Amino acid sequence: MKTTMKTICLLLLLFITGINSTFADNQPKIMWLDCSANFERFSYPDSIQFYVEKCHKIGITHLVLDIKDNSGEVVYPSKYAIQKKNWKNFERPDFDFINTFIKVAHANGMVILANMNVFSDGHGYFNRGAIYDKHKKWQSINYVPGKGLIPVNEIKGRVSKFLNPALKSVQKYEINLIQEVVKNYDIDGIMLDRGRYDCIDSDFSQASKKLFEKYISKKVKRYPEDIFEWAPNTKGGFSRVPGPHYLKWLEWRASIIYNFMKKARQSIKKIKPDCMLAVYTGAWYPSYYEVGVNWASNTYDPSKDFNWATPDYKNYGFAELVDFYTNGNYYWNVTLEEYRKSNGTYKNETDSEVSVGEHLCVEGGCKYSRKLLNGRPFYGGLYVEDYKKDPKQFQKAVRMCLKESDGVMIFDIVHIINRNWWSYLEEALNNK
């Protein structure tokens, strides 16, 4: 990642003020600030200042401020999206939310990135978001086992309601939002979360069929069966049976996400060359193809290791497009030794079935990511609630990310606050 003049100035500021210990090892220590979970807490400038300074004091160097959540709503006045002014019956006072954070973060020599949930446009628990009305025509059509093709709005139990990433209108809308933020705010980077498909079931609309047929230069006779078919199995569930176009379908979906990331980067750099494109994904690469994402380096050829990848799948590895990358190592098991002593199975958030493999622990996930990224820096992400019963295990996970990746990302500040784990986190960040 290229060091920008702004980053150099921030490092100089820390040195001059005598509080440069947080950057002593040159490892970003990142705190995520979720939009909804902290909505009321961050509705007052003095509260924002208090928590930013508290993060800085314990050694946090970077903040990721969630400004577009999984409902698709944004926390600033937008020309394109709905502004999130209230949450759970609390009305946010009228003030410049984003600039307040930027001002305090920069005053403390911190880097601040704005997170945008890209292709999620509705909150399923609260039925909020434009996917229910204005953007209903953009919603994902999912191929649900035993039920067939169903609009995502009609699927019960899904918290995040996804759009179809392949639609040009969807991509243009998301790029407009990204450009709007880069133009209007002195943000250090744009973080893209949920820059993916909903799941392996998504998207099976007629629009996707036409785009895929154009990609492979032939007609799909049986759709979706020629992609794959959900067949009843002996366990009372369904198994995915690949059709003749299955592998090219997976490749095509990866190309959709790759090309969007390329457009996002170009749109940011055209406005502000020093503004970083940052991306957040799950660390479970062997099954992440299910959501159409190849976050590896384009020098890595997954077709040599996995039967789901074509030889051209590697062309859509987008690591080289990204300035700042963090992965989610969301596991109780921290070390490879702990994983090997466990039953070895795990079902990640985006998986359709249980996975196995040594990447399914913090140490393994970081080491595997290092291999896939061909030496590019990355920052190991942790979900605090994975360790809610054991703060010492949490500290072990933080230290492992600092050891095996180039930094650490903590998701989310709300859990540190609610559990009052500030001292535990400070000790782990500074290796005390």
Supply the pTM of this predicted model.
0.94
* Domain locations in the chain as residue ranges: 5-121+157-199+251-429
pLDDT (0 to 100) of residue 26: 83
What does the pLDDT look like over 27-82, one tens digit per residue?
999 999 999 999 999 999 999 999 999 999 999 999 999 999 999 999 999 999 99
**Type of residue at 318:** F
Task: Check: CB of residue 66 under 8 Å from CB of residue 39.
Answer: no
The angle subtended at Cα 117 by Cα 112 and Cα 120, nearest 5°, is 175
What does the pLDDT look like over 218-240, one tens digit per residue?
999 999 999 999 999 998 999 99
Quickly tell me which residue has 């062309």 as its tokens.
315
Mean pLDDT computed over 318-343: 98
Which tokens in the block code for residue 156?
Answer: 């019960």
What does the pLDDT look like over 252-272, one tens digit per residue?
999 999 999 999 999 999 999
pLDDT (0 to 100) of residue 25: 63
Mean pLDDT of the chain: 94
Q: In Å, what is the CA distance from 171 to each residue of 95, 119, 124, 263, 282? A: 30, 9, 22, 9, 22
Topology given in CATH for the domain delimited by 5-121+157-199+251-429: TIM Barrel (3.20.20)
What does the pLDDT look like over 393-404, one tens digit per residue?
999 999 999 999
